[in-house]
């Protein structure tokens, strides 16, 4: 009897340990290059100290980062000791391990100790991130919890596929406060992102304090308040106060830059010129050819028309005058301060979607173009870009811009951020320009990730499954010139911080995996499991995310008279229930198994997904007239 119990207990504990290692080993995002799991666990106790080599302030910071995380959930801060034999030991390689490069690491966990080893402090930081992901999900919590704080025995060798792994955050269309930007940076660091591209200026707000040009933020950072649909809002009314917006003071920026640096994230500042400049023009109308003193910071009202194929018209002038010396003096002041504020080697000069109509209609601009032998608007923008590149280079910074800067020629050495598909990137790489890939729509975090009826009103789609499968580096690229890639969060339809997170996650997980993990190792079902593990972590951390992967995907056709709907899901193993009679479907209603032909008088289709008998996706309620509009020809 007693022996039976012991044997039983043993087998239970074996099952338990296997269970623990199995559930935890599947959780790392981005997936490491190589991980071999062993038997057993390392248990963190109150005597678990963190050892760092002496005179390594960067490692001391990372140790403190780890100790603070553990303190938050355990109520006890591990000691940080200058030692080479602590239970958790950081080791900087005296002689570089050539497999690891500048950001790689090895992580060795045995029942007795943990070593994180790397060629650089960045590598140690990433090893710590992996270690944190191997701890129970409660590590993400904000209060103490009594769970078993263990890490499975494992040997990991890991290093990134690309050196540039970024996210772009647009703070112009909507403003997000300093504390939130720090919070966002902290989230990105956990997924081994190392670049935050900060879109600081646009038509809807100038967000960086420039001391020599105070009106940029006194005037340019504020618009009239609107809560409607961005792009369709009411224009500013005469005498209406501009109360919405904000900006980062130079002190704020220094704080954010340091915060990011401590997490091995470089911040790429973008000043988007010569188009997208309405906020600057509202502050200094003389910067545009039209010099309209009534120009206001745009509150998301409509001022442009899009004709497709990249053709558009702007009804309000949002373009700097490339023929005016004063514009270059202005930009010199801007970039002098931007270059001092941001230590990163690059500055982004924008260059996208520049409307040339006001230039073309201006007699002085035409005279200037003739004199300088510039044949069209593209060549004039190219003239502008080259002069701006010179200004930025004079501040000892490298220049990067959106792929439009290639049009009409660009200065050698200038880097290109490819957004209009992958074409610009391929072309730039062959012209020997360094390239960062951020192609729309897959790497556009403002795109819909689920059904249009329950996602923000935007012009395209990027579902997690497609983003995950997508590799933005086509074989035709000259890879010598590829720096890496990033996903862009444009915020026209992202007014609040929960929405920033909803749009970022889980798609940023897919992006981080493509940028970091080995190519051709993708496995959708395995990825979904890990994503779900991180959903639980986000629940602990209080971070929002989209659960759109559980929503039904609807395809509508009309093979004959009537509409036919075909319903699928991104995630395997979901049950789909639907109704056609305006009742709310659940597991008692018809289960979808094959395409449904809609009877003629149906006016509403409602669909919901279940997993294991519980609702999991959003309830979709779509009017037949809306389904009609979706018919695939
Ligand atoms: C295009 S991408 C833009 C942005 C918009 C975005 C919306 C790029 C360089 N320009 O101004 O916010 O589309 O998806």
Question: Which residues have a Cβ under 8 Å from the Cβ of 310 and sit 6 or more positions away?
Answer: 420
Expressed in angstroms and rounded, the spacing between residue 209 Cα and the centre of ligand 1 is: 23
CA distance 390 to 387: 5
Number of Cβ within 10 Å of residue 231's Cβ equals: 16
Could you say which DSSP state residue 581 is in? S
Expressed in angstroms and rounded, the spacing between residue 522 Cα and the centre of ligand 1 is: 29
pLDDT greater than 90 at residue 11: no
pLDDT of residue 601: 94
Could you say which DSSP state residue 509 is in? H
Atom of ligand 1 nearest to the CA of 488: 2
**Ligand 1 binding pocket mutation candidate from 268, 308, 353 (most atoms within 8 A of CB):** 353
CATH class of the 551-628 domain in this structure: mainly beta
Instruction: Kindly report, residue by residue over 417-474, the tens digit of the pLDDT.
Output: 999 989 989 999 999 999 999 999 999 999 999 999 999 999 999 999 999 999 999 9
Band of residue 21 on the pLDDT scale cut at 50, 70, 90: very low
For the chain, helix (H) and strand (E) counts, in that order, are 17, 28
Expressed in angstroms and rounded, the spacing between residue 277 Cα and the centre of ligand 1 is: 13
CA distance 444 to 439: 7
Q: Which position has the token pair 């499975």? A: 152
In short, whether 402's Cβ falls inside 6 Å of ligand 1 is yes
In short, whether 198's Cβ falls inside 6 Å of ligand 1 is no
Residue nearest to atom 10 of ligand 1 (CA): 352
Tokens of 367: 């005279």
Atom of ligand 1 nearest to the CA of 170: 12
pLDDT of residue 24: 47
Band of residue 407 on the pLDDT scale cut at 50, 70, 90: confident
Expressed in angstroms and rounded, the spacing between residue 454 Cα and the centre of ligand 1 is: 22
pLDDT of residue 192: 98
CA distance 281 to 290: 10
Residue nearest to atom 13 of ligand 1 (CA): 490
Expressed in angstroms and rounded, the spacing between residue 166 Cα and the centre of ligand 1 is: 16
Residue nearest to atom 6 of ligand 1 (CA): 490
Instruction: Kindly report, residue by residue over 210-235, the tens digit of the pLDDT.
Output: 999 999 999 999 999 999 999 999 99
Could you say which DSSP state residue 217 is in? H
Mean pLDDT over 246-253 rounds to 98
Atom of ligand 1 nearest to the CA of 420: 2
Mean pLDDT over 572-598 rounds to 97
In short, whether 403's Cβ falls inside 6 Å of ligand 1 is no
Residue nearest to atom 2 of ligand 1 (CA): 419
Expressed in angstroms and rounded, the spacing between residue 141 Cα and the centre of ligand 1 is: 35
Residue nearest to atom 4 of ligand 1 (CA): 490
CA nearest neighbour of 118 among 146, 169, 156, 87: 156
Atom of ligand 1 nearest to the CA of 276: 11
276 classed as catalytic: yes
Q: Exposed e or buried b for every residue in 410-447, given b needs 16+ CB within 10 A? A: bbeebbbbbbeebebbbbbbebebbbbbbbbbbbbbbb
Expressed in angstroms and rounded, the spacing between residue 265 Cα and the centre of ligand 1 is: 23
Instruction: Kindly report, residue by residue over 118-133, the tens digit of the pLDDT.
Output: 999 999 999 999 999 9
CA distance 404 to 419: 9
Question: Which residues have a Cβ under 8 Å from the Cβ of 344 and sit 6 or more positions away?
Answer: 266, 267, 268, 269
Expressed in angstroms and rounded, the spacing between residue 299 Cα and the centre of ligand 1 is: 16
Atom of ligand 1 nearest to the CA of 419: 2
Instruction: Kindly report, residue by residue over 258-297, the tens digit of the pLDDT.
Output: 999 999 999 999 999 999 999 999 999 999 999 999 999 9
**Ligand 1 binding pocket mutation candidate from 274, 423, 440 (most atoms within 8 A of CB):** 440
pLDDT greater than 80 at residue 633: no
* CB-CB contact of 157 with 101 (8 Å): no
In short, whether 353's Cβ falls inside 6 Å of ligand 1 is yes
Number of Cβ within 10 Å of residue 29's Cβ equals: 25
Residue nearest to atom 7 of ligand 1 (CA): 490
**Ligand 1 binding pocket mutation candidate from 490, 491, 507 (most atoms within 8 A of CB):** 490
Q: Which of 276, 348, 433, 534 is catalytic?
A: 276
In short, whether 379's Cβ falls inside 6 Å of ligand 1 is no
Do 2-158 and 166-545 come out as alike in CATH topology? no
Instruction: Kindly report, residue by residue over 161-218, the tens digit of the pLDDT.
Output: 999 999 999 999 999 999 999 999 999 999 999 999 999 999 999 999 999 999 999 9
pLDDT of residue 632: 72
Q: Which of 13-22, 107-116, 606-615 has the lowest mean pLDDT?
A: 13-22
CA distance 302 to 222: 17
Q: What residues does 42 pair with on adjacent strands?
A: 151
**pLDDT over 90 for what percent of the chain?**
92
Could you say which DSSP state residue 77 is in? P
CA distance 609 to 592: 10
**Ligand 1 binding pocket mutation candidate from 168, 304, 348, 352 (most atoms within 8 A of CB):** 352
In short, whether 446's Cβ falls inside 6 Å of ligand 1 is yes
* CB-CB contact of 113 with 83 (8 Å): no
Angle between helices 524-541 and 507-516 (to 10 degrees): 120
CA distance 23 to 30: 16
Distances 376 to 317, 318, 362, 384, 516 between C-alpha atoms, Å: 18, 19, 13, 13, 42
Q: What residues does 608 pair with on adjacent strands?
A: 577
In short, whether 490's Cβ falls inside 6 Å of ligand 1 is yes
DSSP run (H or E) holding 294: none
Tokens of 329: 């003096």
Distances 446 to 19, 388, 422 between C-alpha atoms, Å: 38, 29, 18
pLDDT greater than 90 at residue 509: yes
Residue nearest to atom 12 of ligand 1 (CA): 490
In short, whether 419's Cβ falls inside 6 Å of ligand 1 is yes
Grouping H, G, I as helix, E, B as strand and the rest as coil, residue 415 is strand
150 classed as catalytic: no
In short, whether 461's Cβ falls inside 6 Å of ligand 1 is no
Q: Which of 332, 353, 378, 478 is catalytic?
A: 353
pLDDT greater than 90 at residue 252: yes
Domain boundaries, the chain: 2-158, 166-545, 551-628
pLDDT of residue 10: 46
pLDDT of residue 410: 83
Residue nearest to atom 9 of ligand 1 (CA): 352
CA distance 49 to 78: 5
CA distance 236 to 211: 27
Instruction: Kindly report, residue by residue over 64-95, the tens digit of the pLDDT.
Output: 999 999 999 999 999 999 999 999 999 999 99
Instruction: Kindly report, residue by residue over 342-357, the tens digit of the pLDDT.
Output: 999 999 999 999 999 9
Grouping H, G, I as helix, E, B as strand and the rest as coil, residue 484 is strand
CATH code that applies to domain 2-158: 3.30.379.10
Expressed in angstroms and rounded, the spacing between residue 441 Cα and the centre of ligand 1 is: 10
* CB-CB contact of 467 with 442 (8 Å): yes
pLDDT of residue 3: 47
Atom of ligand 1 nearest to the CA of 446: 14
Residue nearest to atom 5 of ligand 1 (CA): 490
Expressed in angstroms and rounded, the spacing between residue 199 Cα and the centre of ligand 1 is: 11
Instruction: Kindly report, residue by residue over 38-65, the tens digit of the pLDDT.
Output: 999 999 999 999 999 999 999 999 999 9
pLDDT greater than 70 at residue 484: yes
Please compute, for residue 286, the number of CA atoms within 13 A of its CA located in the half-sphere on the CB side: 8
CA distance 455 to 362: 42
CA distance 431 to 413: 10
Q: Which of 202, 252, 317, 403 is catalytic?
A: 202
202 classed as catalytic: yes
Instruction: Kindly report, residue by residue over 357-392, the tens digit of the pLDDT.
Output: 999 999 999 999 999 999 999 999 999 999 999 999
CA distance 320 to 296: 15
Tell me which of 3.30.110.40, 3.40.50.620, 1.10.10.10, 3.20.20.80 is the CATH number of domain 166-545.
3.20.20.80
pLDDT of residue 8: 53
CA distance 438 to 140: 30
Number of Cβ within 10 Å of residue 594's Cβ equals: 6
């Amino acid at each position: 009897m007693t022996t039976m119990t012991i044997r039983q207990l043993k087998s239970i504990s074996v099952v338990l340990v296997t269970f623990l290692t199995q559930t935890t080993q599947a959780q790392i995002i981005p997936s490491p290059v190589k991980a071999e799991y062993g038997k057993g666990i390392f248990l963190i106790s109150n005597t678990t100290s963190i050892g760092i080599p002496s005179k390594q302030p960067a490692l001391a910071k990372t140790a403190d980062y780890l100790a603070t995380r553990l303190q938050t959930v355990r109520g006890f801060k591990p000691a940080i000791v200058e030692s080479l034999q602590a239970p958790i030991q950081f080791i900087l390689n005296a002689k570089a391990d050539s497999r690891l490069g500048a950001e790689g690491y090895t992580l060795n966990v045995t029942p007795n100790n943990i070593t994180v080893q790397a060629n650089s402090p960045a590598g140690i930081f990433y090893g710590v991130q992996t270690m944190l992901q191997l701890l129970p999900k409660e590590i993400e919590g904000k209060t103490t919890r009594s769970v078993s704080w263990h890490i499975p025995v494992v040997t990991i060798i890991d290093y990134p596929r690309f050196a540039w792994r970024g996210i772009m955050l647009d703070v112009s269309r909507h403003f997000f406060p300093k504390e939130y930007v720090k919070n966002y940076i902290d989230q990105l660091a956990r997924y081994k992102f190392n670049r935050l591209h900060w879109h600081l200026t646009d038509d809807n707000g100038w967000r960086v304090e420039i001391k020599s040009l105070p009106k940029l933020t006194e005037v340019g950072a504020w618009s009239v308040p609107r809560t409607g649909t961005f792009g369709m809002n009411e224009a500013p009314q005469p005498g209406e106060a501009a109360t919405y917006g904000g900006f980062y003071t130079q002190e704020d920026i220094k704080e954010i830059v340091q915060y990011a640096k401590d997490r091995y994230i470089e911040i790429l500042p973008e000043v988007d010129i010569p188009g997208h400049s309405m906020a600057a023009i509202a502050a200094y109308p003389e910067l545009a050819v039209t010099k309209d003193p009534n120009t206001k910071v745009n509150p998301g009202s409509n001022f442009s028309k899009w004709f497709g194929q990249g053709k558009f018209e702007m009804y309000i002038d949002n373009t700097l005058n490339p023929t005016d010396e004063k514009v270059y003096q202005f930009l010199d002041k801007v970039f002098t301060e931007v270059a001092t504020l941001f230590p990163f080697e690059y500055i982004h000069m924008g260059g996208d979607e520049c409307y040339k109509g006001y230039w073309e209609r201006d007699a002085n601009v035409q005279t200037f173009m003739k004199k300088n032998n510039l044949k069209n608007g593209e060549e004039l923008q190219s003239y502008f870009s080259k002069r701006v590149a010179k200004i930025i280079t004079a501040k000892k910074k490298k220049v990067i811009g959106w792929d439009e800067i290639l049009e009409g020629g660009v200065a050698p050495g200038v880097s290109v951020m490819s957004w209009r598909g992958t074409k610009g990137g391929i072309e730039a790489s062959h012209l020997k320009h360094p390239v960062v890939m951020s192609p729309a729509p897959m790497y556009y975090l403002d795109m819909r990730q689920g059904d249009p009826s329950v996602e923000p009103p935007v012009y395209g789609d990027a579902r997690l499954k497609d983003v995950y499968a997508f590799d933005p580096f086509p074989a035709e690229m000259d890879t010598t010139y590829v720096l890496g890639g990033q996903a862009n969060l444009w915020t026209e339809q992202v007014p609040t911080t929960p929405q920033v997170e909803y749009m970022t996650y889980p798609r940023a997980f897919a992006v981080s995996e493509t940028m970091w993990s080995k190519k051709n190792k993708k496995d959708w079902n395995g990825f979904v499991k890990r994503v779900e593990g991180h959903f639980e972590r986000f629940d602990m951390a209080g971070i929002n995310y989209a659960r759109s992967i559980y929503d039904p995907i609807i395809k509508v056709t009309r093979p004959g008279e009537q509409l036919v709907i075909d319903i699928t899901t991104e995630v395997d193993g979901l049950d789909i229930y639907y109704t056609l009679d305006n009742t709310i479907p659940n597991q008692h209603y018809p289960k979808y198994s094959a395409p449904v032909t809609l009877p003629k008088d149906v006016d509403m289709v409602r669909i919901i997904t279940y997993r294991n008998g519980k609702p999991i996706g959003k309830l979709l309620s779509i009017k037949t007239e809306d389904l009609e509009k979706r018919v695939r020809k």
